[in-house]
């Protein structure tokens, strides 16, 4: 992993914290966590691509036909309408508009589990998730030490809006 030309970026949500924060407020009308995570992680990747004047390919792992269509719909919505979040609540994250998504996103292609890229992504994902609970988690700490996470490559002033998003971890000690 150390030699792979890959940088980890994720949106990680603690389900217990998410339920505590939004369960009563939205009752049965909460989004699936995948909609939130997909929108946030793609937006942050777009911000990074735009910093370097690059285009972005989104290559998620295949699930099943229904969920694959759902991910594709999330992608297309970003390109045509922008983020699905309330403007006021998300203003502190400097959200991008639909035109910026459309200008930067140029490909959506699903990958099979057998894809080396999907397998490498899996190797990154677990330590990044664990980092939300324990920054000393050995695989997470190693990715940081090796400079393989986006936070290691971003200026301090944009890490909160461009880096990995850890959400609803308030209940963690």
Dump pLDDT digits (tens) for 89-116. 888 899 999 999 999 999 999 999 999 9
128: exposed, middle or buried (Cβ count in 10 Å: 0-12, 13-18, 19+): buried
**Rounded to the nearest 5 degrees, what angle is found at the Cα of 162, between the Cα atoms of 159 and 168?**
80
Mean pLDDT of 19-33: 80
- Reduced to 3 states, what is the DSSP secondary structure of residue 114? coil
pLDDT of residue 4 exceeding 80, the answer is: yes
**Sequence-ordered list of residues with C-beta below 8 angstroms from that of 138, at least 6 positions apart, any chain:** none
Say what the pLDDT of residue 173 is: 56
Q: Which is more confident, 57 or 26?
A: 57
pLDDT single digits (tens) 38-89 = 999 999 999 999 999 999 999 999 999 999 999 999 999 999 999 998 878 8
Say what the pLDDT of residue 38 is: 95
Q: Which is more confident, 29 or 107?
A: 107
């Amino acid at each position: 992993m150390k030699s792979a030309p890959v940088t980890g970026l994720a949106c990680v949500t603690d389900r217990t914290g998410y339920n505590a924060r939004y369960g009563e407020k939205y009752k049965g009308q909460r989004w699936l966590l995948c909609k939130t995570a997909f929108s946030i992680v793609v937006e942050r990747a777009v911000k990074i691509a735009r910093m370097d004047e690059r285009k972005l390919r989104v290559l998620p792992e295949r699930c099943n036909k229904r969920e694959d269509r759902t991910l594709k719909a999330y992608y297309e919505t970003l390109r045509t309408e922008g983020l699905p979040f309330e403007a006021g609540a998300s203003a502190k994250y400097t959200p991008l508009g639909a035109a910026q998504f459309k200008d930067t996103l140029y490909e959506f292609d699903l990958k099979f589990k057998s894809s080396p890229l999907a397998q490498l992504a899996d190797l990154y994902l677990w330590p990044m998730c664990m980092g939300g609970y324990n920054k000393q988690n050995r695989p997470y700490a190693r990715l940081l030490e090796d400079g393989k996470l986006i936070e290691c490559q971003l200026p301090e002033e944009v890490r909160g809006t461009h880096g990995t998003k850890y959400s609803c971890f308030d209940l963690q000690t």
